[in-house]
């Protein structure tokens, strides 16, 4: 099948994801951050609705795959395995791997505040991309994309090695390389007092190593340390690529 003509940047992205859009508008909307649509028009299209759709498609595809692959695993374990695959940090990792940040359509303000590498933005965009593929090519296309993205993780959910103390392990790893201290920063908190969400980052020698989300500041810091360990290639932890350059 002949590939449709497209802008170079969008063509490069479609090569990475292994899917070529019949209607490029779906891809454009998936890459449009809400800040960009608000800057031009309050009713302009952005990726929030596609994110909503993609979240449901993602869960369905992975639930189906786990159900068929782990025949002797109970419902509770399958639910935990699915949660491990689709948590916000895992989806942000996928966004980094696909370099979605370099293709985002952002407002000037979001651009200046690091929106292209923000984990929450990349996680949302990944879900929107799943929704866009579903609308453009149907369930089979979306299923193929999701399973390609998670093929290395799906088979390991029942026995992925856990890091008991990510912050301690990260500190020990870096102390062997430098005397500089680790610094954890609270980047954002949102939501009502009884149900707040936190985003924290971890820094070393003025370099950000990772970010994480959680229902408490402590949990968000722990998740940030886990991401940092993955980037640094800590033993027993799968390495993930560095974020796309802004």
Q: Which residues contact 7 (CB under 8 A, 6 or more apart)?
A: none
**Would you call 1 helix, strand, or coil by DSSP?**
coil
Is the four-CA dihedral 240, 182, 213, 132 of positive or negative sign? negative
Look at 137-151, 191-205, 230-244 and tell me which has the smallest mean pLDDT. Answer: 230-244
- Torsion over CA: 142, 148, 150, 151 (sign): positive
Residue 15 burial (C-beta neighbours within 10 Å; 0-12, 13-18, 19+):
exposed
Alpha carbon distances (Å) from 76 to 61, 73, 142:
18, 8, 26
Question: pLDDT for 9-60, tens place per residue?
Answer: 678 899 999 999 999 999 999 999 888 866 554 445 899 999 999 999 999 9
Residue 209: its H or E element: strand 207-214
**Structure-block tokens of residue 20:** 């070529």
In the chain, alpha helices (H): 8-17, 24-30, 34-40, 48-69, 75-86, 88-97, 108-112, 119-137, 139-154, 166-175, 217-232
- Residue with structure tokens 């609270």? 186
pLDDT in tens, 47-99: 999 999 999 999 999 999 988 887 667 677 788 888 889 988 889 999 999 99
Instruction: Tally Cβ neighbours within 10 Å of residue 198.
Output: 21
- Which of residues 12 and 130 earns the better pLDDT score? 130
CA atoms of 181 and 227, how far apart (whole Å): 18
Q: Which residues lie closer than 8 Å to 213 by C-beta, 6 or more apart?
A: 88, 89, 119, 120, 197, 198, 199, 220, 223
Task: Give Dmax over CA atoms of the chain in angstroms.
Answer: 57
Is residue 159's pLDDT more than 50? no
Both ends of the chain: CA-CA distance in Å? 33
Which residues in the chain are classed under CATH 1.10.1520.10?
A: 8-154
Buried-exposed string 21-38: b where 16+ CB fall within 10 A, e elsewhere? beebebbbbbbbbbbbbe
Right CATH for 8-154 from 3.20.20.70, 1.10.1520.10, 3.40.50.300, 3.30.1300.10: 1.10.1520.10
Q: Which CATH number fits domain 166-232: 3.40.1800.10, 3.30.160.20, 3.50.50.60, 3.30.930.10?
A: 3.30.160.20
- pLDDT for res 243: 36
The tens digit of pLDDT for each residue in 169-209 reads: 899 889 888 888 899 999 998 888 888 889 999 999 999 99
| Start-end of CATH 3.30.160.20 domains in the chain | 166-232
Looking from the CA of 182 toward its CB, the CA atoms found within 13 Å total: 24
For the annotated catalytic residues, the residue numbers are 55, 127
């Amino acid at each position: 099948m002949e590939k449709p003509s497209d802008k170079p940047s969008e063509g490069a992205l479609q090569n990475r994801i292994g899917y070529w859009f019949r209607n490029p508008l779906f891809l454009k909307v998936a890459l449009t951050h809400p800040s960009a649509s608000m800057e031009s028009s309050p009713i302009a299209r952005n990726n929030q609705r596609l994110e909503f759709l993609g979240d449901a498609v993602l869960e369905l595809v992975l639930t189906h795959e786990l159900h068929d692959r782990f025949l002797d695993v109970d419902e509770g374990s399958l639910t935990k395995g699915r949660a491990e695959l689709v948590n916000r940090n895992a989806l942000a990792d996928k966004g980094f791997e696909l370099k979605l940040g370099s293709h985002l359509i952002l407002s000037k303000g979001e651009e200046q505040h690091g929106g292209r590498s923000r984990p929450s933005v990349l996680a949302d965009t990944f879900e929107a991309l799943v929704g866009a593929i579903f609308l453009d090519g149907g369930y089979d296309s979306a299923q193929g994309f999701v399973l390609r993205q998670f093929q290395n993780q799906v088979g390991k959910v029942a026995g992925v090695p856990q890091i008991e103390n990510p912050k301690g392990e990260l500190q020990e790893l870096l102390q062997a390389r430098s005397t500089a201290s680790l610094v954890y920063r609270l980047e954002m908190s949102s939501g009502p007092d009884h149900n707040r969400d936190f985003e924290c980052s971890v820094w070393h020698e003025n370099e950000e190593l990772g970010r994480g989300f959680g229902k408490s500041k402590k949990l968000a810091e722990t998740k940030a340390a886990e991401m940092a360990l993955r980037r640094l290639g800590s033993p027993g932890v799968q390495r993930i690529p560095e974020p796309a350059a802004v």
